Every structure is written in structure tokens, then in C-alpha cells.
Amino acid sequence: MAWSLRSVIPVWLVALAGAVAVGVFAASASLTWLPIVLAGSVLVTMAIQLALQRKEGLVTRMMASLGGALVICALASGILALLRT
């Protein structure tokens, strides 16, 4: 379980930092930039999983990483949409 959290939390932090950056710097074009943040999260997930070189639990770790990043980006989209109106 410790390996799972060590590989999942950094992806969530990258997604959160990207969502905050989009909210601060590009709030008017958030629907353009938030999918790019999610794509960056996919790349970070792949890099972390390749660096770990552990095949046990790979799918679970990737699902947790990308699922959390998706939730963060969806919440950021909702919040930015509410703030824009």
C-alpha cells in the first residue's frame, strides 16, 4: 500500500497545481487548458510507473492516479464554470 500512495499522490498534486494555475492564469480559457492538465497527469503517471519497475498492482495504481486527477480536473471545471457566470 505504501508504494501505491507514493506513486498516486504526486499525480494528484500535479493535477491540483495545474488546475490552480489554470484558474489563476487562464480562467477565461479553462475549458481549453484543463484537458491539457489532465493529459499532463497521464504523462506523469506513466513516467512514475515506468520508474517504479513493479508490475504488481500497476493497473490499480494507474486507475487511482488518473481517477483522482480526473476528479480534480472535473471539480476545477465546475468551480471555474460557476465563477465565470
- pLDDT tens for each residue of 14-69: 999 999 999 999 878 878 899 999 999 999 999 999 998 888 888 999 999 999 99
* Rounded distance between C-alpha atoms, residue 76 and residue 73, angstroms: 5
Question: Cell for 82?
Answer: 460557476
pLDDT reading at 3 higher than 70 = no
Angle, vertex CA 57, rays to CA 54 and CA 62, nearest 5: 95
Asked if 38 contacts 15 with a C-beta cutoff of 8 angstroms, the reply is yes
Rounded-to-5 percentages of helix, strand, coil across the chain: 90, 0, 10
Q: Which is more confident, 1 or 77?
A: 77
Number of domains in the chain: 1
Question: Cell for 27?
Answer: 480562467
Asked if 8 contacts 71 with a C-beta cutoff of 8 angstroms, the reply is no
Query: What is the span of the domain harbouring residue 43?
Result: 2-84
The whole model's pTM is what? 0.89
